[in-house]
Amino acid sequence: MAKNSRLVFSTDSGRIKPAAGDAKTDTAGADAGDGWVRLYRESKGRAGKAVCLIDGIAEDQQKLICKRLKQNLGCGGSVKEGRIEIQGDRRAQIKEWLEKQDFRVKISGG
């Protein structure tokens, strides 16, 4: 039986971190760099009020996209923590508008 040469955990030293250049295990930026804009609804911590969160848009474009979305939909929103927040559950309208702007959009979550 062949022995696996990739050590993941050792009782001597604990978790073994992968090498910094290892592409298979490096997941930093996987969401931001895959070319998809992810759109999902969240109401946790907002007194039951729903907001749509938009991830995957470059930071230099976020404020402009947010401004245009708010104007188009007639609602509020902002850019927080590297993502766009639009008030209300308007995922279908946001997806339609983003696709017209040549973004590839996925609706994530339930």
pTM: 0.68
Residue 35: which pLDDT band, with cuts at 50, 70 and 90?
confident
Q: Which fold has domain 35-107?
A: Translation Initiation Factor Eif1 (3.30.780)
Task: Name the residue ranges covered by the structural domains of the chain.
Answer: 35-107
Task: Kindly report, residue by residue over 51-90, the tens digit of the pLDDT.
Answer: 999 999 999 999 999 999 999 999 999 999 999 999 999 9
* Model confidence at 8: pLDDT above 80: no
Task: Kindly report, residue by residue over 41-54, the tens digit of the pLDDT.
Answer: 998 888 889 999 99
DSSP assignment of the chain equals: -PPP----EETTTEEPPPPTT-TTT--TTTTTSSSEEEEEEE-TTTTT--EEEEE-S-HHHHHHHHHHHHHHHT--EEEETTEEEEESS-HHHHHHHHHHTT-EEEE---
Yes or no: say if 104 and 35 are a contact pair by the CB < 8 Å rule.
Answer: yes
